[in-house]
Amino acid sequence: MGRDPHYDVLFEPVAIGPVTARNRFYQVPHCNGMGVQYPSAMAAMRGIKAEGGWAVICTEECDFHVTGDVTPAIEARLWSEQDIPIMARMTEAVHRHGALAGCELVYGGPAGHNRQSREIPMAPSAMPVFGSEPGNARAMDKTDIKNFRRWHRQAALRARDAGFDIVYVYAGHNLCLMQHFISRRFNFRTDEYGGGIENRTRLMREVIEDTKEAVGDTMAVAVRFAVDELAGDQGITADGDGAAVVEILAELPDLWDVNVSEWPNDSQTARFAEEGFQEAFIGFVKSKTSKPVVGVGRYTSADRMVSLVNKGVLDMIGAARPSIADPFLPKKIEEGRIEDIRECIGCNICVSGDFMFMPMRCTQNPTKGEEWRRGWHPERIAPKESDSSVLIVGAGPAGLECARALGERGYPVSLAEAGTELGGHINTVSLLPGLASWARVRDYRVGQIQNMPGVEVFLDSRLDAEHVREFGFDHVVLATGSSWVGDGIGETHRRAIPGADQDHVLTPDDVIGGAAVSGPVIIFDDDYYFMASVLAEKLRGEGQDVIYVTPAADVATWTHNTMEQGRVQTRLLERGVAVRTAKSLASIGKGDAELACVHTDRRETVAAGSVVLVTMRVPDDSLYHELTGDQAALDAAGIRSVTRIGDCLAPGLIAAAVYGGHKYARELDAPAPIDNVPFRREILELSNDWPVL
């Protein structure tokens, strides 16, 4: 099957200064939690994207001087010649598949903290370091500026020596010094680097010129610039300083990579932003420059991409998250396999890895982060090792992925679902406010399974142990999911909350299932992810008075890791939800509830017509215990293994359930690891010059 000619424009080459991209697909710089600590893993992850058809593959932030240290974030690094071989590992992996490699040099300034180097951060003007951290960044003098220019030039040459084809001058996401010079929020200088926009742009102009002079025609020089900080007149705006900067520097760089700032604005989740929401801000850039322009918008629709090019909005389709969910997105469009694209759901689980200082993961793509570590390729999987048959009970995210991957390997699979449709709890979660795109987890896998003759699906098939034993499968996989507890046990309460056994006390399962709710409704969030806030939004939208109670310091506190927390809390407050933070639910009465301050235990009583407990989930694993409790019956039935996966083993993120299903499928019939470590580890070489003190 060939590609639709309608998409031919996406596969035209694009000249970027002295280099040429083979098509219009551009993986913009994105963090991944690998970088300097796991360089082989980072290189393999980037190389697979090049294999998947992306024409340009960029690094994450690459800090380049000890005074601009971004530790503890796990990023790339080019402090000295010592770092070049590490970065060359990535460029070699990218070049192996005919793509260009780009390096995003970053100097954190007040956003960098210098926690490893312990140097004093520098900024355009004296200011506190970012992140509610004690300490100040000092104002740069003329010598500091001269040094900074020299350091950036040296770093560009190190990037060239590492094999990069494109080097960045970075002024985006409020994470880098040059944006701080441009933004009136941070630049209060009165010399030639402060005041009007020409002066505030001076350093960026000088650095672009320095970089181009240093690398000559051996590399392209790209600018990544936040044309709008979404901070109003206090910051850069698309119709103000953002447009002015593009006009001033229009023809200097070889490529413009444009977005909005800060990172939570640039990478909004699907709950809060539609595909392509940045077009309203970046749409003007093409009219200001003849150089190619790349932008992002969580694009997964090939038709939308074509429209952006044809309308003159973008020259290249930028992507971070869609390239994570499906590294082979370009190749699938090129080969006419649109239906095989694993579309990003916009959940930002990938982002959470960076905030938790660990290699990234992805809800849609369970191989993400495992390319080098486990040798998992997103589009290739080893064929079956035997003719063993597998019964999977439960068709939620774990069961669907397990069936899909086993089917791809060639195993005969029967997938039994107690309900009348595939998808498990995704079917109901995706109907909650803002979460419609999460249905893509189900839709991709169902679409793949439908084309697999070796996978049989049985709906409305609730199985007990006797049924399972009768079928004669070699292996049984239980993906029967989990349920929310109704007694309030969770992180805060290790015993049932007094009064939780009353009829007006509900679980999320009850509310989603349509149980009657009477206000005022107390929602007690001891889970800290999305569920409590989404239920609050749903019930408030239905006209209920809602009181959101949580022991945490803010609403949905784990969503700091997905960069949603501020928007979640803002939305609840704007819609009239009463928010009570740092409060535990001490007891539940017949028409009220007692709250307790988590710091002082001071008590207060509030009215409650209904109470919704969002605390923890427990596995629905009774079938597992029923089966494994009679080994003789299993032996007689010829069942060689019974395995729990996903929430049936331990409730967690949807990403964890998909990963669990995929892991089982990969490891079926595989030998056990020799040393009990089932993946490769990247162990840094010990230095031979350590001192004896």
- Residue partners of 227: CB distance under 8 A and separation at least 6: 236, 238, 242, 243, 245, 246, 258, 259, 260, 281, 282, 284, 285
The predicted pLDDT at position 2 comes to 82
Identify residue 211 by its one-letter amino acid code: T
* Rounded Cα distance, 428 and 431, in Å: 5
Is 80 exceeded by the pLDDT of residue 220? yes
| Average pLDDT over every residue of 274-301 | 97
Residue 676: its pLDDT value, please?
A: 83
Please tell me the predicted confidence (pLDDT) of residue 133.
83
The three-state (H, E, C) secondary structure of 323-353, written as one string: HHHCCCHHHHHHCCCHHHCCCCCCCCHHHHH
pLDDT computed for residue 1 by the predictor: 65
User: Is 173 a catalytic site residue?
Assistant: yes
Q: Is residue 243 within 8 Å of 266, Cβ to Cβ? A: no
User: pLDDT (tens digit, 9 = 90+) per residue, 651-667?
Assistant: 999 999 999 999 999 99
Residue among 170, 528, 529, 664 flagged as catalytic: 170
Residue 260, beta-bridge partner list: 228
Q: Which of 671, 680, 649 is closest to 382 using CA atoms? A: 671
Among 355-369, 449-463, 672-686, the range scoring the smallest mean pLDDT is 672-686
Write down the catalytic residue from 266, 340, 527, 647. 266
Average pLDDT over residues 319-331: 98
Architecture in CATH of 390-481+620-667: 3-Layer(aba) Sandwich (3.40)
Indicate the Cα dihedral angle 144, 162, 21, 218, nearest 10°: 70
Task: Report whether CATH 3.50.50.60 matches the domain 486-616.
Answer: yes
* pLDDT of 564 over the 70 cut: yes
The domain limits of the chain are 5-355, 390-481+620-667, 486-616
- Nearest 5°: the CA angle 624, 628, 634 is 115
* 605-637: pLDDT as tens digits: 999 999 999 999 999 999 999 999 999 999 999
* Ramachandran category for residue 348: left, alpha or beta (phi over 0 → left; psi -120 to 50 → alpha): left
Q: Which band of pLDDT confidence, cut at 50, 70 and 90, is reported for residue 691?
A: confident
Residue 122 parent element (H or E): strand 122-123
Position 495 scores a pLDDT of 97
pLDDT attached to residue 356: 94
Residue type, 561: N
Model confidence at 21, pLDDT cuts 50, 70, 90, reads very high
Query: What is the rounded average pLDDT of the residues 39-60?
Result: 97
Q: What is the mean pLDDT of residues 136-165?
A: 98
- Whether 266 is catalytic: yes
Question: pLDDT band for position 688 (50/70/90)?
Answer: confident
The CATH fold assigned to 5-355 is TIM Barrel (3.20.20)
Q: Which residue has the higher pLDDT, 192 or 681?
A: 192
pLDDT in tens, 336-381: 999 999 999 999 999 999 999 999 999 999 999 999 999 999 999 9
The proportion of the chain whose per-residue pLDDT surpasses 70, expressed as a percent, equals 100
Of the residues 30, 95, 152, 173, only one is catalytic, namely: 173
The vertex-288 CA angle with 294 and 259, nearest 5°, equals 35
> Whose structure tokens read 């932008």?
295
Cβ pair 355, 564 in contact under 8 A: no
Q: Is the pLDDT of residue 514 over 80?
A: yes
At 597, the pLDDT band (50, 70, 90 cuts) reads: very high
CA angle 201–206–208, rounded 5-degree value: 95
Contact in structure between 525 and 549 (CB atoms under 8 Å):
yes
- pLDDT class for 513, splitting at 50, 70, 90? very high
Contact call for residues 92 and 162 (beta carbons, < 8 A): no
Of 667, 654, 627, 670, residue with least CA distance to 399: 654
pLDDT of 672 reads 83
Among the listed residues 26, 31, 95, 402, the single catalytic one is: 31
